[in-house]
Amino acid sequence: MPASEKDYIVLYRTLVEKKLMLGNGDGKVKQRDLEYLADHIEQKSKVRLSISTLKRVWKDDFAQEPHPTTLDALASALDFADWPSFKKANAATLVDALPSEPLAAKQKMSMRFYVALGLAIVAAGVIAILGFGLGKKKLKLPAVIPFRADKTVTQGVPNTVIFNYDVSNIEADSFFIQKSWNPRDKTPIDPTKNHFTAIYYTPGFHHARLMVGDSVVATERVHIKSDGWFAALRYDPLDTHPVYLDRRRLKHDGLLQTTEGDLKAAGIDVQKNFIYRYYNSRDFENVTSNNFVLETRLRSDSLLSQACPNAEIMIVCEEGICFIPITIKGCVSNLGVGMGEVYKGGNDHDLSAMGTNLLKEWQTLRIENHNRNATIFLNDVAVEHIKYKQDYGKIVGLTFTFNTPAAVDFVRLKNETGTIVYADEFDQ
């Protein structure tokens, strides 16, 4: 029986999960896994797939087969030129895995077939019994598994973190430490040793994981603080070693600003695509993700090499992130807004109200969130409303992302009582 398109999609998911280390090997992936995959696909194919599209692919939740353009973009993550190339390369794998013909359709079977079928059933039974015994073997864990993360500097980057662990009492084939949500940060460790070190190159808040096989057995929070505003640039979103921008040049003329001249002075090729971020990673006096008001004003400057200027404010919380982007009106299809567990992509949601004259005109962006009911205002006009369910803990970071020279005029963060707990007007 020939393989169906769905068979190839299922195979694709298995292969890409293995290659990019998405999820925990159980076919379930988290939103951040999909965000990472979307970045990887965009870098490979120059096509940006929305998180909602990727979710449908992983859940088989589509009324019809994905569009050929979507399939071609997916294939790029496995280094294939297009989807037909992926199918051709893996046709033999699926042919071997699928029955050549439904048994009910076979009217005549030779003795050889019956013997082969009998042996296959017996073999399958033996494998199932052995597999049950091995696969169901319960992982025995001690009551306490030591796992601690110690920063070498209190704040600032680069920052080496020394992980202390003890898995000497655990019997297993593999052990790992994953230093962040990103599956690329999963590294094998030696179970006979007690220390593993990792360098964090940008500020942020992470849940480091100690893993035995595919099981997370201990976690440790790692808050890499920035000591004020810090800027880092990447040509590729997947680059692990960013370019640091000169902190002494970030604040001038009452703005948090990076000009084209600043980028060139740092050796940046402004003809290439890039993104840079202003990080402020710190404790924000117990402001929670459930109730806050964040207001800022920003603008983007033109670069002839960048057709779609984009600006985004990210609110980093203990258990996740919120992100609110704006762009020019002609590029709103590229947008994706996320609050809590809710994500809306511009290719299957109407986010046209989040398009504005971002170039050289100041745009005031305000997020009012009351009991996980968030309203996004652009220039005092409500442009999006999102209600979400989960509690994501305290706010522990603010991040601005741009793909052109840009400036921020002010940032103000209020708690649930309306009290300003953090403000920066960027005066010298």
**At 156, is the pLDDT very low, low, confident or very high (cuts 50, 70, 90)?**
very high
CA of residue 370 relative to chain centroid, distance: 26
Q: What is the pLDDT of residue 53?
A: 86
pLDDT tens digits, one per residue of 291-341? 999 999 999 988 777 889 999 999 999 998 999 999 999 999 999 999 988
Please state, in angstroms and rounded to a whole number, the distance separating the CA atoms of residues 111 and 119. Answer: 12
Please state, in angstroms and rounded to a whole number, the distance separating the CA atoms of residues 163 and 196. Answer: 5
pLDDT tens digits, one per residue of 356-366? 999 889 999 99
Show the tokens assigned to 192. Answer: 């006979």
Q: What is the pLDDT of residue 79?
A: 86
Show the tokens assigned to 14. Answer: 């298995």
What is the average per-residue pLDDT within 4-18?
A: 86
Cross-strand partners of 256: 251, 408
Range with lowest mean pLDDT among 34-48, 254-268, 334-348, 400-414: 34-48
The CATH architecture assigned to 230-424 reads Sandwich (2.60)
Q: Based on the number of CB atoms within 10 Å of its own CB, is 82 exposed (0-12), middle (13-18) or buried (19 or more)? A: middle
- Averaged confidence pLDDT in the chain: 86
Three-state DSSP class for 20? Answer: helix
pLDDT tens digits, one per residue of 49-98? 888 888 888 887 666 678 888 898 899 988 888 898 888 888 876 655 54
**Is 272's pLDDT higher than 60?**
yes
Cross-strand partners of 313: 324, 400
Show the tokens assigned to 389. Answer: 């369910």
**Is 256's pLDDT higher than 90?**
yes
Show the tokens assigned to 284. Answer: 């924000």
pLDDT tens digits, one per residue of 205-236? 999 999 998 889 999 999 999 999 999 999 98
Which amino acid is it at 111?
A: M
The domain limits of the chain are 5-97, 107-135, 147-224, 230-424
pLDDT tens digits, one per residue of 100-147? 444 334 344 444 444 444 454 444 444 444 444 444 456 788 889 999
Q: Is 114 left (phi over 0), alpha (psi -120 to 50) or beta?
A: alpha
Domain 147-224 of CATH type 3.10.450: no
Strand-pair category, 320-327 with 186-188: unpaired
Please state, in angstroms and rounded to a whole number, the distance separating the CA atoms of residues 34 and 183. Answer: 11
